[in-house]
Amino acid sequence: MPHQISVMVHTPAHSGIGGALTYESDAAHTPGTLVRVPLGSRELLGVVWDEAEPPLPSGDHASIANTNTNEQPSLLMPDDPSLQNHAPVAMQLRAIASVLEGLTPLSAHWRQLVQFAAHYYQRSAGEVALAALPSQLRDLSTEQWARRLKRKPKAVVAYKGATQTIPTPTDEQAQVLADFATNKGPFLLFGNTGSGKTEVYLRAAQAELERDPQAQILVMVPEINLTPQLEERFRARFCPQWGADCLVSMHSSLTPAQRLKHWLAAHSGEARIVLGTRMAVFASMPHLQLIVVDEEHDPSYKQQEGARYSARDLAIYRGQLEGAKVILGSATPSLESWHHSRPATDTEPAGRYMRLAMPSRVGQGALPLVRRVDMNRQPYKTVFSNHLLDAMRERVTRGEQILVLLNRRGYAPVLNCNDCGWKSECPHCSAYRVFHKLDRTLRCHHCGFTQPVPRACPTCGNLDISPLGRGTEQLEEHLAELLADVRRPDGEPIRIARIDADSTRLKGELERQLAEVHAGAVDVLVGTQMIAKGHDFRRVTLVAALNTDGALFSSDFRAPERLFSLLMQAAGRAGRDANMSLVSPCEMWVQSHHPLHPLFEALKQHDYPAFAEQQLKEREQATLPPFSFQALVRAEARSQEAAQGFLNAARDAGAALADELLVDLYPAVPMTIQRVANIERAQMLIECTSRKALQHFLAHWQADLHAMRSAHRQVIRWAVDVDPLAI
């Protein structure tokens, strides 16, 4: 009697088939086994799944269904027997094609994590499961796979890199580590920049590795490329003891072969430490004991396409599921995590995270003095106030380094005709193209449309077209003129460099440029937020932030939170070397038209708690997250009417259930950038004070959305974003 086997594959999501498919096999297969199965005319990689849930009542595959893809439906045959859950006995099921031999099945915990993520973020489990596996598992043929498996795991490879002296913990570190050891967590490590958070992660990891000879540790960082030093620190700490292969990385710039190798090392338990970006939250780690989420506030933990999961939030879930401890660390926690870690008051119980604080910097390294420049008192169109320039000159002459932060790459945002008012709009998007002087192009940062700069105004022929506003590229140029007379201590002219998405497009460029800054070859570094994150620049004593005001009055309620954390991070780059600080106290300069704004007041005091308290009060009054829960539905269509029409019809369809569950459905509105690459985009906000009610609503409403599709042929795609980061 052949066995009926449930297999999770990545079916084209809009087919509405998101659950496991049924196949037959002569042998029983443990759930978690990787197999290849036929579907239509193709063969797909699949994961043997747990007994299929009983079929849902018809019309309601809500919790497993999903849409949003451009894939053609042609490869699916609607009556393919595999699509049946619990096929009637008479029906001829197709057989599993092959099993990927030699792999331990994926654990029940892993499958549960996938199932949860799929359900929570309204996607299919097959999509989430298969996206979490290295592509080579899918792409290698049976023969290639057999050859791959024959490669013998090497014996422990000795580590040849530098070892480091392990510092004695500071009092604050010791206290935090003691609290960590004796409590369950999850923990929010609220530690200033330079307070030694990384050292806490290293020590906590070390203790785990020693306590349990199998223990595995997952360390997540926002972007690995920005902090190559971190991987080095982990290697230098652990490889001497556990071998050069005890740590593997997981991020999107690995080659498919590397990704498979690292994934197998984690899956087999050989790799004791996985260091990765958000995707690593799905790493198969059979003995996971500790999860660290560094810079937990960073928006890059939220996936922005497909299943829009938050790796930070999934880390908390995974920790609970697997009994692994979780530490979230930040100098400027997300307001969500700050709120969840609130201490108990007389009237209210404590939040569900435990807050651990490290307010001091290690050694004598002082936090910078924040100086605000009132731009209202500066001559019109001033870019660098004279005071700031003087301070920069003085520091460069002394051999110190300076960071200039501006969140806008390119030369100038817009080219403008001074005669007729023509601006360099993108013909395909409702956005302006940005002037890039280096290659004299106008480039759209949304759709990528690039053209050479016109020699004359395309509308009126006027030759006098000039840049409006400033980007990093122009700033670099402008600064070079302003500081042309300044000499370094060795008598050489000043060196200015720029780091942003443009200057680092080539592989290895970012690492090379950062190394130059570390080596002291650069005096002034101009850049976007890329230069504010995590770097341990030792000679930086002055950080200047220009043009920050936009975020103070943004329509996105999270903009102030992001600005504050960016400025705190940037400030944290200054004064990291205590010896330097003794000679020359470090400073952070902020130029603003609203210097007395509470955000800058809090920044001046380096007072994140004050900032958080003020923001949380506002959020509570407005019932915004974390005091409510949100989801966004986005629709894309050839016309704005079609996109909004679909959303508003969906709103009508869900109105009754929403009423019952106290879920608010807002009217459809155009997205901030309404048109990208000639596609019109609209969105609709859904809000509720209960996460559970919101989840319940979304799960049922999905069926309505699917059902509506045929009546809205103009809609190209739509997708739900649960806990969206940008509204």
Residues that bind ligand ADP (CB under 6 A): 167-170, 173, 191, 193-199, 362, 536
Residue that the structure tokens 């002296």 belong to: 165
428 binds, among Zn ion, ligand ADP, none (CB under 5 to 8 A by kind): Zn ion
513 binds, among Zn ion, ligand ADP, none (CB under 5 to 8 A by kind): none
CA-CA distance, 567 to 409, in Å (whole number)? 17
Q: Which CB atom, from 426 or from 698, has the smaller least distance to Zn ion? A: 426
Measured in degrees and rounded to the nearest 5, phi and psi for residue 448 equal 85, 0
Between residue 332 and residue 371, which ones bind Zn ion under the rule CB under 5 A? none
- Residues contacting Zn ion: total by CB under 5 A: 15
Least distance in Å: CB of 164 to ligand ADP? Answer: 8
167 binds, among ligand ADP, Zn ion, none (CB under 5 to 8 A by kind): ligand ADP
- Chain centroid to Cα 15, Å, comes to 29
Complete edge-to-edge strand list for the sheet that includes strand 401-405: 369-374, 587-592, 540-545, 401-405, 524-527, 496-499
**Residue 432 per-residue DSSP state:** B
Least distance in Å: CB of 218 to ligand ADP? Answer: 17
Q: Which CB atom, from 424 or from 541, has the smaller least distance to ligand ADP? A: 541
Q: With binding defined as CB under 5 A, does residue 382 bind Zn ion?
A: no
Least distance in Å: CB of 298 to ligand ADP? Answer: 14
Q: Which CB atom, from 153 or from 421, has the smaller least distance to Zn ion? A: 421
Nearest Cα neighbor of 348 from 620, 561, 602 is 620
CA-CA distance, 559 to 551, in Å (whole number)? 5
Q: Which CB atom, from 327 or from 635, has the smaller least distance to ligand ADP? A: 327
Q: Which CB atom, from 30 or from 418, has the smaller least distance to Zn ion? A: 418
Between residue 400 and residue 439, which ones bind Zn ion under the rule CB under 5 A? 417, 419-420, 422, 426, 428-429
Between residue 433 and residue 472, which ones bind Zn ion under the rule CB under 5 A? 444, 446-447, 449, 457, 459-460, 462
Q: Which CB atom, from 227 or from 424, has the smaller least distance to ligand ADP? A: 227
- The 10 Å Cβ neighbour count of residue 665 is 24
Residue that the structure tokens 């260091």 belong to: 275
Least distance in Å: CB of 412 to ligand ADP? Answer: 34
CA-CA distance, 429 to 440, in Å (whole number)? 20
Please enumerate in sequence order all residues whose Cβ is within 8 A of that of 173, keeping only pairs 6 or more positions apart, or say none.
196, 199, 200, 203, 358
Least distance in Å: CB of 291 to Zn ion? Answer: 39
Least distance in Å: CB of 240 to ligand ADP? Answer: 17
Rg (CA), the chain: 27
590 binds, among ligand ADP, Zn ion, none (CB under 5 to 8 A by kind): none
**What string of DSSP letters covers 480-531?**
HHHTTT-B-TTSPBP-EEEESTTTT-STTHHHHHHHHHHTT--SEEEESGGG
Pairing between β-strand 3-8 and β-strand 42-48 as defined by DSSP bridges: antiparallel
**What string of DSSP letters covers 294-332?**
ETTT-GGGB--SSS--BHHHHHHHHHHHHT-EEEEEESS
Least distance in Å: CB of 171 to ligand ADP? Answer: 9
Q: Which CB atom, from 169 or from 243, has the smaller least distance to ligand ADP? A: 169
337 binds, among ligand ADP, Zn ion, none (CB under 5 to 8 A by kind): none
Pairing between β-strand 369-374 and β-strand 441-443 as defined by DSSP bridges: unpaired
Does residue 13 contact residue 67 with C-beta atoms inside 8 Å?
A: yes
447 binds, among Zn ion, ligand ADP, none (CB under 5 to 8 A by kind): Zn ion
Least distance in Å: CB of 201 to ligand ADP? Answer: 8
132 binds, among ligand ADP, Zn ion, none (CB under 5 to 8 A by kind): none
Q: Which CB atom, from 200 or from 264, has the smaller least distance to ligand ADP? A: 200
Tokens linked to 133: 């596996």
- The 10 Å Cβ neighbour count of residue 585 is 13
Q: Which CB atom, from 74 or from 168, has the smaller least distance to ligand ADP? A: 168
194 binds, among ligand ADP, Zn ion, none (CB under 5 to 8 A by kind): ligand ADP
Least distance in Å: CB of 207 to ligand ADP? Answer: 15
CA-CA distance, 383 to 371, in Å (whole number)? 16
The residues of the shown chain that bind Zn ion, judged by CB under 5 A, are 417, 419-420, 422, 426, 428-429, 444, 446-447, 449, 457, 459-460, 462
